[in-house]
Amino acid sequence: MASFTLHGIPVSRGISIGRAHLLTPAALDVKHYLVPEEQLEKEVQRLQDALAEVHRGLQALWTDLPKDAPTELGAFIDVHALILSDPMISEAPLDIIRTRHYNAEWALVTQIDELSAQFDEIEDEYLRERKADIQQVAERVLKVLMGSAQLAPAPRAAGDEFQPQMIVVAHDISPADMLQFRDRSFIGFVTDVGGQNSHTAIVARSLDIPAAVGMSQASSLIEQDDWVIIDGDAGVVIANPSPLVLEQYRARQAAMLKARKKLLKLKKTPAITRDGTAITLLANIELPDDCPGALESGAEGVGLFRSEFLFMGRSGHMHTLPDEDQQFEQYRKAVVAMKGRPVTIRTLDIGADKPLDPTEHTALNPALGLRAIRYCLAEPQLFLTQLRAILRASAFGKVRILIPMLAHAFEIDQSLAMIEQAKAQLREAGHKYDSAVEVGAMIEIPAAALAVPMFVRRMDFLSIGTNDLIQYTLAIDRVDYEVAHLYNPLHPAILQLIAMTIAAGKKAGIDVAVCGEMAGDTKLTRLLLGMGLREFSMHPAQLLSVKQEILNCDLGTITPHTRKIMRSMEPNAIAEAVAQLQTI
């Protein structure tokens, strides 16, 4: 097939070269993992057993039919039994398990999707309607499979020949779905939709996997098993590359790996500027399992633990959400893993592009609706449960509580009152906690940045969430790829709001961090330092690159240049001056 290039939005740096694996929305509803060679026949047997069980179930239905039952019912069961026996259902998915190493559920859904697409092209309306029967039969089999024992994805040992180089291609992937890819079976992501700072992009960066989003037609143009190159830095995807192009990208990939290994030498070097100013570098994490990676990158603590990822991937019904003990175990695990370093846990930040239950009715504009602290204050029992769990974890190490999306004084006061209530409940129950636990506010709404004195009087620290701050200030939906080009961290209004917040914190003597995506962008490191920022929190993968910038920076030289940038209101002049800062 001829080679072609797609241009989208770069969201995660690096180069990936591998085979395309198309994921339909249906395929995302089941677990998908790769089965090692020696366990393939066991997995084939698992699917065969499920098919046999559904056969027996249909047979029992047929036997139990009342004599006066409509003949259509018997015919309906017959059709389903015939579909189940058809080699396209009974044999083709077994071949997919053997050739692609897919687990049984994924193999079945992949085959059903291919069959469904063929049925869509049939002109005869009656035959076209049989697609629904096929899907119903598949659902029966999936229900049985999901109740059967699943093989755990095998750990990928060093030097293992079975190193799948798989690139996910999908119309869209939710943050919850992204969490399924943490076993590193996949080396890249390509989606039709999404923006530079959608949560899906953020998770891709946290996994340190090259990705490109906003590719428009990628999932319909790229075919299963096509060779694909992702240039994460340029936001370019090349399908079916020529041998020469493949060779060029492999050389670039090798050079990047070499540069990354060189950066590892900075792990134990303190983050101090050339003129002797110490800078705090923290990690953003989604789950406690991210802590070893944070330590490996030399993080001095966790500046943002996005607790909502513990809730995602579950049903949105309250009784299925993690209870106090389950949450406490996860928070404690992170605190212990960080070995005495501070762990800042952000309270539940759901809504917008991170709904608890995607099937529930969504607000007309979820970014402006009941989300983050608004949601927690509207669900006080849910909030108190989380606060108690966080406070209990504070008995095992340094914990800080971070409240997202605050805008009003009464929200701050209510949140602080709820924390006091949670402490009283723990005292009554005899649980230990750190009575001096610090509480901070996310500054991510323009109103909060403009009224920052109201925050410094009430809070112990501040953390600027640049992703939402930019979204709300510029009225840009960061998930919408059609307006993603308008998302600009260097807009003069954004720089003013950040500078204002840093200055207010400094004047009040409280810590101010940036935990949004700007903190991990090396092109902006010197600008933020020049604005007075002394605490950065980012994905562990970005930490050493930012540290390198800090070590090469002299605050005495860059601060006057930054002041000049802050006086400018011309976007082009700002962009040029920021680029120039890199060379000073």
Q: What is the pLDDT of residue 504?
A: 97
Q: Which of 291, 376, 515, 553 is catalytic?
A: 515
Q: What is the pLDDT of residue 279?
A: 98
Residue 267, both tokens = 């792990």
E strand spans, 252-358: 280-285, 302-306, 343-346
Element (H, E) at 403: strand 399-403
The three-state DSSP-derived secondary structure of 475-531 is CCCCCCCCCHHHCCCCCHHHHHHHHHHHHHHHHHCCEEEECCHHHHCCCCHHHHHHC
**Pairing status of strand 9-12 against strand 236-239:** unpaired
Rg of the chain over all Cα atoms, to the nearest angstrom:
26
Q: What is the pLDDT of residue 134?
A: 85
Residue 189, both tokens = 């992501």
Assigned superfamily of 35-147: PtsI, HPr-binding domain (1.10.274.10)
Please, which residues bridge with residue 229 across strands?
17, 238
Give domain limits for the chain: 4-22+154-262, 35-147, 269-581
**Calpha distance 516→282 (Å, rounded):** 12
Judge whether 223 and 3 are in contact, CB under 8 Å.
no
Check residue 129 and report its DSSP letter: H
CATH number for the domain whose boundaries are 4-22+154-262 = 3.50.30.10
Architecture of the domain defined by 269-581:
Alpha-Beta Barrel (3.20)
Is 376 part of the annotated catalytic residue set? no
Please, which residues bridge with residue 354 across strands?
351
Query: Who's near 66: CB < 8 A, 6+ residues apart?
Result: none
Check residue 208 and report its DSSP letter: T
**Calpha distance 126→142 (Å, rounded):** 25
HSE (side-chain half, CA atoms, 13 Å) at 129 = 4
Q: Residue holding tokens 């370093």?
A: 341
**Calpha distance 531→567 (Å, rounded):** 12
Q: Which of 199, 491, 539, 553 is catalytic?
A: 199
**Calpha distance 107→61 (Å, rounded):** 27
Distances in Å between the alpha carbon of 117 and those of 120, 135, 505?
A: 5, 12, 58
Residues 275-293: b if buried by 16+ CB within 10 A, e if exposed: eeeebbbbbbbbbbebbeb
**Pairing status of strand 399-403 against strand 438-443:** parallel
**Calpha distance 28→245 (Å, rounded):** 32
Domains 4-22+154-262 and 269-581 alike in fold:
no
Judge whether 116 and 136 are in contact, CB under 8 Å.
no
Give the strand order in the sheet containing 211-213: 4-7, 236-239, 227-231, 15-23, 166-170, 186-191, 211-213, 9-12
Q: What is the pLDDT of residue 502?
A: 98
Is 515 part of the annotated catalytic residue set? yes
**Calpha distance 498→512 (Å, rounded):** 10
**Calpha distance 14→155 (Å, rounded):** 24
HSE (side-chain half, CA atoms, 13 Å) at 574 = 18
pLDDT in tens, the chain (584 residues): 789 999 988 888 899 999 998 876 655 567 778 899 999 999 999 999 999 999 998 888 888 877 776 666 677 788 888 888 999 899 999 999 999 999 999 899 888 888 887 877 777 666 666 777 888 888 889 888 877 655 544 444 334 444 558 898 988 876 656 666 665 568 898 998 887 767 667 777 777 789 998 888 898 899 988 999 999 889 899 999 999 999 999 999 999 999 989 999 999 999 999 999 999 999 999 899 999 999 999 999 999 999 988 887 543 333 368 999 999 999 999 999 999 999 999 999 987 555 565 445 455 677 888 999 999 999 999 999 999 999 999 999 999 999 999 999 999 999 999 999 999 999 999 999 999 999 999 999 999 999 999 999 999 999 999 999 999 999 988 777 688 788 899 999 999 999 999 999 999 999 999 998 999 999 999 999 999 999 999 999 899 999 999 999 999 999 999 999 999 999 999 999 999 999 98
Q: What is the pLDDT of residue 12?
A: 83
Query: Who's near 200: CB < 8 A, 6+ residues apart?
Result: 172, 173, 174, 175, 178, 189, 191, 194, 213, 353
